[in-house]
């Protein structure tokens, strides 16, 4: 993550698209399990992934994470591809 570039899709959006696509294919019980796994993975990324950012990314993260109210963002809402 050394180069800062414009994010076209966030990690959060990828998770949402994944679950939406699988909602049509899976049985409700299986979909629920997938939702739980994605939720746990997202919590893990939001809680720990910031530790591995470079200096520029860390400054961006700190700014958005520490913002108040509607401007606050979690890791998965900031970074992507």
Instruction: Count up the domains in the chain and report the number.
Output: 1
Indicate the pTM of the whole model: 0.87
Query: What's the pLDDT score for residue 4?
Result: 56
pLDDT tens-digit map of 21-53: 999 999 999 999 999 999 999 999 999 999 999
**Residue 79 contacts residue 12 (beta carbons within 8 Å):** no
Domain assignment present for residue 2? The answer is no
Q: How far apart are CA 58 and CA 55, in angstroms?
A: 5
Domain assignment present for residue 65? The answer is yes
Domain assignment present for residue 34? The answer is yes
Domain assignment present for residue 57? The answer is yes
Q: What is the largest CA-CA distance in the chain?
A: 44
Which two structure tokens, joined as six digits, stand for 41?
């993975």
**Residue 75 contacts residue 12 (beta carbons within 8 Å):** no
Q: Which residue range forms the structural domain that includes residue 37?
A: 11-78
């Amino acid at each position: 993550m050394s180069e800062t570039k414009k994010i076209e899709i966030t990690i959060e959006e990828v998770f949402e698209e994944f679950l939406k696509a699988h909602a049509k294919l899976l049985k409700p019980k299986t979909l629920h399990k997938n939702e739980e796994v994605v939720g746990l993975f997202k919590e893990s990324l939001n809680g720990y992934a910031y530790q591995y950012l470079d200096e520029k990314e860390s400054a961006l993260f700190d700014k958005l994470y520490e913002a108040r109210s509607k401007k606050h963002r979690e890791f998965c809402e900031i970074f992507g591809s």
